[in-house]
Structure 1
């Protein structure tokens, strides 16, 4: 029986979702920023207890075919500027200008590159001397990695040959030199160089942790490699992963899961809303397909690789709520997992929506995270009184109501521009179900789907991943012969790489695509490519994109079928504040104790596995045949 472990490492919580060939078992654990392998292995051990009745880390590891892992560490490293200083050595005289056309690019330039930028003339008769001097100068300025970029692959190869021949071996070994055309066959100089710079910056952070996790797996004599989940929806072993492709990989898992929901529910347009501890990630699935961009962007900076269209806003369950100029502001700062919200009891002194929902009565102090974590309401009360109520000159109850509404509006602002009359909102993440109805109403969405696995849904989405590689290489000359020769080189490279992944190329699915770019860097044509196809674009840039996939077993979600509605039984009531002067006795339902077809109306609370959903007045809910929660707003 195939067992697959899927892990989504977030800033506050780490989600573990295991598919055993028949169903999902999942859990959550606090992220341990000081050592990410600690929360990875403690989470796997925790889920083994659910599977076997007692914790047995070694047993679950040896029963597992693959561990697929997604992490926010690349995202966090870029936000916190936690990485090596980068130097640029280029033959392009105006590269610094074209790389700094926006505020986002200027900000990233100042944080990653600053004054570590030098140009050389490829035709200079003293080129060899100038290259060595330039790299030495960059390292003196603090560069720990040097990106070399030129107008074309030929010039870059010339620079490489000189550096390999002339550069001092002891220095070359300690300062990695990275060549832009090796990473991406993209004629846009700024985009290609930015891709190389960001990848160089992210690589050490990812490398240290991922290789460390691999070593710990080897201590357990686990034969199968750790697989890194990427932002293109595929996975690969650590040694074969590009750091740039790990950026925003968690949200891609959520989108793949959303696409699976769209298929089984027959939904044409679904907006994903994934609220974690730090951010709300938003994306679109249209016609069961994940919306992607041919050339993506990171922090507003263009890159050469395709990326899913995921937008992140600094609004999450651990986002700071504060008073700024007499108004309530939500995010983008976050208290993260340490110290966390005030109610966690780890020393947090700033208010969050988790504190608000605890005092409103939406959250129960004793059942948070399925009772594995007790919340402290007194700490929340003290922090909100001091930082919100008193600065606004209102009572605690009024402050809570205003804070919740401000949070609804902040979340709605992340996806309202994507809404049309046919939109269904798929709400997940640990904090998503709590605010889904309130944010949806603000945005004008009348249908919300909350998966039973909402708390770990991005981790579940990773389970739809296969082992895959995508190569994008510039054809030296856009001719039939050159394209065929380049394709043959890619086949040989893919055969070698997939063998190292554990698969024969003959057992994989392969596809080739020819991309023709104009002088302006925009794509003029793209079409499937078969070796021998006529290629005659000598004045344009031709790129071959070669994709190879080894399929892994994947789960099958239960299709939605019509079920006769019946009243949903409750386990009791909870006092929930709906206004400064109004507290209601609200029925509480436990999702795992409900049956398909069980229905009800708001106000109500539905406790799911590791999440709490708030059903506001005017909303109806029903449990689908798959055990998910479907909400509809009768007021719209």
Structure 2
């Protein structure tokens, strides 16, 4: 019997599970420690808490960090790169711009493929897709002989102008796959648009993580199949959709941000429940702090990101990440207190975990301040050692000449300031005022810091979902299958060839249909969205505009408006040109409905207990509430602590709290309450 729908998100410290039981119409959640030595082990342990017979699982969606971790830790595959003869140095030269202009010690990141592993092949395709030099097959066989001799794990192929004509890349893959059993990544599959260095970088990253992602997914597929699950595993994509694990093995690049993106999609679904269409979503776990935005009810998606100094040409939810989580380590440098980016992770973890950690972390500081209950962490699943936390914080306090309590507050204040700056990077630096947004906090540690961060940014409202501790996994259950395609087409708006544009759109739609059909989506069930990358003539970067009817006058108007919104200026009389055409294909999946409460209890909530908590260096008796006791219509005021089995909500004085019909928690400053609620 198909009974359960599962979402699983692997983080640096915890693996989160959300189970929707269709039979009982309830959600179950669980957090288990991540198992870095074998990520599948932690996933199976989490699932096993609620589902014993995996044949009862109807739908399984998963966010994996296997590719991202391999990339960040430089533990990816041994990759060979094949390029057109004469262009061996494109990848190493990169761009001449300095991303840190005033840093005299700035160094470009070392490439993922060294020059000795880059091979040139005699062939040439021109900018319009014409073949002027066919592939030299003898030359290709020589290269394959070298690939065999050096035991490469993966091959990346990026030929000149393959975005216009991929025939040569396709030929190379066909021949290599006959001779070698290793993944081959083609630029024409991964990034079919111009800008040579960016295209090479993107293709190399895909190849770099492909064997790691493939190995992990193969292990997971094998283990769940042994336990009775015979259906497809769906993998969360960085673009906000999902794909089957079969497609993920071919396009692992799209798994890079699959965990944090689940929370963003969950935030998008919250807009339908709350009516707030502009959200700043913050996901704070044990290792990182991820910021994303929902604007007018839709996730903020970018066609290009820069990660660890490498450009990636692929549609992704725009997420800004910093090393600030519950496991971020506090340390002293030049007499000053620092927090992060290094994390204690899940092993050994914070000192209070009792697993050998000695350095103080943000979690240790919160425990010292009384914000976390040592006996009720994760619903009592983990017993914390408060004395170990005190000793860890003391080791830093002694170095800077402050008390343990002052140091603990200092650790939290520094972490909060860093996280507020991360939000400013995604908003203020782009001309967006965060005060116009609602802050949505989730992750194991997000609700613990959200209200304090909102105060630093003068934001008026904080929203904590009822499944905040495992919200990213919940968000994954609200997604659809998605596939993005792109074609390079450069022309002034006044010189557009409509027949050629329509031909490209049709070609992309047929490619999308083929991919979605492989994922059990029927052709008549696929939705398409056409868009177009536009810029002023003479500019380098583009703005993506939805293109529903090829109405170029409307495209021009929308572009001028979008340019003004993004950059603060525009030139309505300026000439504009098209650079890329894009198609996004969606395949709708069944979603579990959010359970709504109909019994409103308009009354002050009753605290479950009280305990001493430090607020502004003053210890104060504070009400502690349990989410198990809170009902629709309940309200109370800070200071307060709200405990859930997967997270803890810290609410300082002068804040008002209410519970909505979905048991989500809304927090507003008491001085701003009427303004927000009206």
TM-score class, shorter-chain normalisation, is 0.7 to 0.9
Match of 1:273 among 265, 282, 303: 282
Normalised to the residue count of structure 1, the TM-score between the two structures is 0.87
1:152 Cα offset (Å): 1.2
**Is 1:6 paired with 2:7?**
yes
**For the structure 1 residues 525 and 625, does the alpha-carbon distance in structure 2 shift closer, same or farther, using more than 3 Å as the test?**
closer
**For the structure 1 residues 445 and 546, does the alpha-carbon distance in structure 2 shift closer, same or farther, using more than 3 Å as the test?**
closer
* 8 A contact 2:481–2:589 mirrored in 1: yes
Match of 1:356 among 322, 343, 365: 365
Query: Which residue in the other structure is 2:230 paired with?
Result: 223
1:4 Cα offset (Å): 1.4
CA–CA distance in structure 1, aligned partners of residues 593 and 397 of structure 2 = 49
Query: Which residue in the other structure is 2:167 paired with?
Result: 157
Query: Which residue in the other structure is 1:536 paired with?
Result: none
CA–CA distance in structure 2, aligned partners of residues 473 and 385 of structure 1 = 59
**For the structure 1 residues 397 and 178, does the alpha-carbon distance in structure 2 shift closer, same or farther, using more than 3 Å as the test?**
closer
**For the structure 1 residues 524 and 121, does the alpha-carbon distance in structure 2 shift closer, same or farther, using more than 3 Å as the test?**
farther
Match of 1:282 among 291, 316, 333: 291
CA–CA distance in structure 2, aligned partners of residues 481 and 358 of structure 1 = 65
Superposition map of 1:475-554 within 5 A: 493-512=511-530, 522-523=541-542, 528=547, 545-554=582-591
CA–CA distance in structure 1, aligned partners of residues 486 and 334 of structure 2 = 50
Match of 1:576 among 610, 613, 620: 613
1:147 Cα offset (Å): 2.2
**For the structure 1 residues 99 and 23, does the alpha-carbon distance in structure 2 shift closer, same or farther, using more than 3 Å as the test?**
farther
1:35 Cα offset (Å): 1.2
* 8 A contact 1:135–1:146 mirrored in 2: no
Superposition map of 1:207-606 within 5 A: 207-241=214-248, 242-386=251-395, 388-417=396-425, 418=427, 419-473=433-487, 493-512=511-530, 522-523=541-542, 528=547, 545-557=582-594, 565-580=602-617, 582-606=618-642
CA RMSD of aligned residues (A): 3.4
Match of 1:32 among 21, 35, 40: 35
CA–CA distance in structure 1, aligned partners of residues 134 and 243 of structure 2 = 44
**For the structure 1 residues 159 and 20, does the alpha-carbon distance in structure 2 shift closer, same or farther, using more than 3 Å as the test?**
closer
1:617 Cα offset (Å): 1.5
**For the structure 1 residues 67 and 558, does the alpha-carbon distance in structure 2 shift closer, same or farther, using more than 3 Å as the test?**
closer
Is the partner of 1:273 in helix, strand or coil? strand
Is the partner of 2:46 in helix, strand or coil? helix
CA–CA distance in structure 1, aligned partners of residues 112 and 589 of structure 2 = 40
1:462 Cα offset (Å): 0.8
* 8 A contact 1:227–1:236 mirrored in 2: yes
Query: Which residue in the other structure is 2:663 paired with?
Result: 627
CA–CA distance in structure 2, aligned partners of residues 161 and 290 of structure 1 = 38
Superposition map of 1:161-180 within 5 A: 161=171, 172-174=179-181, 176-180=183-187
* 8 A contact 2:302–2:316 mirrored in 1: yes
CA–CA distance in structure 1, aligned partners of residues 423 and 20 of structure 2 = 31
* 8 A contact 2:525–2:588 mirrored in 1: no
Normalised to the residue count of structure 2, the TM-score between the two structures is 0.82
Query: Which residue in the other structure is 1:537 paired with?
Result: none
More deviation in 114-123 or 316-325?
Answer: 114-123
Is the partner of 1:501 in helix, strand or coil? coil
1:120 Cα offset (Å): 5.0
More deviation in 395-404 or 454-463?
Answer: 395-404
More deviation in 26-35 or 592-601?
Answer: 592-601
More deviation in 137-146 or 216-225?
Answer: 137-146
CA–CA distance in structure 2, aligned partners of residues 26 and 149 of structure 1 = 44
**For the structure 1 residues 393 and 602, does the alpha-carbon distance in structure 2 shift closer, same or farther, using more than 3 Å as the test?**
same
1:162 Cα offset (Å): 6.7
**For the structure 1 residues 514 and 593, does the alpha-carbon distance in structure 2 shift closer, same or farther, using more than 3 Å as the test?**
same
* 8 A contact 2:656–2:668 mirrored in 1: yes
CA–CA distance in structure 2, aligned partners of residues 469 and 111 of structure 1 = 27
Deviations 1:457-477 (A, max 9, x none): 111111111233333356899
Unaligned 5+ segments in structure 1 are 49-55, 534-539
1:214 Cα offset (Å): 0.8
Q: How many residues align?
A: 614
1:30 Cα offset (Å): 0.8
1:301 Cα offset (Å): 2.7
